[in-house]
Amino acid sequence: MKPVTIGLIGYGAIGRVHALGYRAIPFHYGLPAESVQIGGVATSNASSAAKAAQEIGCSYWTADYRELLARPEIQAVDINVPNHLHEEIVLAAAAAGKHIYCEKPLAVSVAQGKRMVQAADDAGVITQMTFNFRFFPALERARQLIGEGFLGKLYSFRGRYYRSSYIDPAKPLSWKLRSETSGAGALYDLGAHIVDMLYSLLGEFGAVQASLETVIRERPVAVGATEMAPVDVDDIALLHVRLRDGTLGVVEASRLGTGFTNELTFEIFGEKGSIRFDAADSAFLEVYDVRAAAAPMGGRRGITRIEVGNRYPGAKMPDWTMAPGFLRAHAECQAAFLRAVAEGRPSSPSLADGLHVQALLEAALHSSRQQRWVSVDEIMQGK
């Protein structure tokens, strides 16, 4: 792989994950250390930027991301900032001719997302979304099975992402709890991931009927503060969705999933079989084969666990028998982007893919407010 130099914009918790991913990629694939370099970092103030550069081990830092974009050695930027800032930075990066790796969700609105996709297309830069969960090897195996016709006619599907990260009413307000900076709550934060996983397996969505609920309606303005302020984003999002072909499914996202630290699962049901995945048991894919069950004496009736493990083509470590995890999936998502940049070809999931996910999520917002089915086309057309 040709060497690629990255500029990090934003360095919170997820920025650290991305920095670790870039550092790990050469070890995963036996590449020279210089194959992936973080050439600089930009954060919101000089103090945090200097500290970030020290942690990362890069020599350049700035409190103005535009200065990072102006550096000729930076080939691509990795955007890890609150949702409402994505558009401004993507437009500036595209204008500077930098390839773009952007955290999910794409933006706070479809209108913003359209402008971002258009700017990247006009500039001819390579783009990718951080939809890291689609990079578990089990997801690739599921795609293979679906492509081979294992399911037969698709009957229905269900996806769920539950966390318990906001069950404490004393947890203070942050940008993720304000619609102007986040766009939505659990719907955008968690729903984006499970919607993308299903989209990557089953294809485009057509319409949604949703109910969004804000359970904890006010929170402290800061840690330990007695002053309270309203929360205007959802804690729980329950969606009935249809694919373009009309297949019905259910998507759930909640940040009040008491007892679940990070439960991400899906089930897909067809006339000939079913597929189930649980990110907590990511080394396996569960399948049910109707054809096997129909054999004399019941054949091999029952759910079968397919051993997938840590199978990433060309990887040198960790050994394939080890269970893949959150960090490895992130690194593979980043590696896919870097390969595309190095080879000068489109990457996936692109900003255009992120826009389709955004349209389904925004349709869910409209549906919850208007209590009706809302189509993705309606949202994309600005109706």
Residue 286's CATH number:
3.30.360.10
H helices, E strands: number in the chain:
13, 17
Sign of CA dihedral 108, 14, 335, 312: negative
Confidence of residue 380 (pLDDT cuts 50, 70, 90): very high
Confidence of residue 372 (pLDDT cuts 50, 70, 90): very high
Q: What is the mean pLDDT of residues 58-80?
A: 97
Q: How far is CA 55 from CA 40, 49, 93, 123, in A?
A: 12, 10, 24, 32
Q: What is the mean pLDDT of residues 335-364?
A: 97
In a domain, 381, yes or no: no
Query: Domain boundary residue among 72, 107, 131?
Result: 131
Q: Provide the 8-state DSSP code for 63.
A: S
Among candidate residues 69, 71, 70, the one with its CA nearest the CA of residue 79: 69
CA trace torsion 142, 148, 154, 160 (10° rounding): 0
Among candidate residues 28, 27, 22, the one with its CA nearest the CA of residue 4: 22
Alpha carbon distance 60, 52 (integer Å): 10
In a domain, 329, yes or no: no
In a domain, 338, yes or no: no
What residue type is assigned to position 284 of the chain? F
**Which residues are bridge partners to 42 per DSSP?**
9, 62
Alpha carbon distance 139, 19 (integer Å): 24
Which pLDDT value is given to residue 352?
98
Longest Cα–Cα distance in the chain: 71
CB 28 within 8 A of CB 331: yes
Among candidate residues 106, 126, 105, 124, the one with its CA nearest the CA of residue 116: 106
In a domain, 376, yes or no: no
- Give phi and psi for 35, each to the nearest 5: -60, -35
Percent of the chain with pLDDT over 90: 93
In a domain, 62, yes or no: yes
Confidence of residue 382 (pLDDT cuts 50, 70, 90): confident
SS3 266: strand
CATH number of the domain enclosing 27:
3.40.50.720
Q: How many domains does the chain have?
A: 2
Q: What is the mean pLDDT of residues 121-132?
A: 98
Query: Domain boundary residue among 81, 115, 131?
Result: 131
| 254 and 213 within one domain | yes
Which pLDDT value is given to residue 184?
98
In a domain, 346, yes or no: no
Dump pLDDT digits (tens) for 284-326: 999 999 988 666 766 667 899 999 999 999 999 988 888 888 8
CB 239 within 8 A of CB 190: no
| 110 and 170 within one domain | no
57-65 contact pairs (CB < 8 A, 24+) = 65/9, 65/89, 65/92
| 141 and 76 within one domain | no
Q: Where are the alpha helices (DSSP H) in the chain?
A: 13-29, 46-56, 65-69, 86-95, 110-123, 137-147, 179-182, 186-189, 191-202, 290-293, 326-343, 351-370, 376-380
Domain residue limits at 102: 4-131
- Give phi and psi for 323, each to the nearest 5: -70, 130
Which pLDDT value is given to residue 146?
98
Query: Domain boundary residue among 99, 131, 163?
Result: 131
| 210 and 159 within one domain | yes
Q: What is the mean pLDDT of residues 169-187?
A: 97
Q: Where are the alpha helices (DSSP H) in 191-347?
A: 191-202, 290-293, 326-343
In a domain, 330, yes or no: no
| 138 and 238 within one domain | yes
Which pLDDT value is given to residue 302?
86
* Close Cβ partners of 181 (under 8 Å, ≥ 6 residues apart): 82, 83, 84, 108, 175
In a domain, 93, yes or no: yes
Q: What is the pTM of this model?
A: 0.95
Dump pLDDT digits (tens) for 127-155: 999 999 999 999 999 999 999 999 999 99
Alpha carbon distance 28, 314 (integer Å): 9
Which pLDDT value is given to residue 297?
64
| 154 and 104 within one domain | no
| 165 and 96 within one domain | no
Terminal CA-CA length for the chain: 45
Alpha carbon distance 157, 170 (integer Å): 36
Vertex 189, ends 184 and 195: CA angle to 5°?
Answer: 105
Q: What is the mean pLDDT of residues 81-100?
A: 98
| 258 and 125 within one domain | no
Q: What is the mean pLDDT of residues 371-376?
A: 98
CB 81 within 8 A of CB 104: no
| 97 and 220 within one domain | no
Dump pLDDT digits (tens) for 4-44: 999 999 999 999 999 999 999 999 999 999 999 999 999 99
Percent of the chain with pLDDT over 70: 98
| 170 and 112 within one domain | no
Judge if the upstream peptide bond of residue 32 is cis by omega within 30 degrees of 0. no
Alpha carbon distance 91, 89 (integer Å): 5
Alpha carbon distance 373, 246 (integer Å): 13
pLDDT at 60 over 80: yes
| 114 and 47 within one domain | yes
Record the tokens describing residue 57, joined without a space: 């081990």
pLDDT at 58 over 70: yes
SS3 13: helix
Which pLDDT value is given to residue 323?
85
| 126 and 62 within one domain | yes
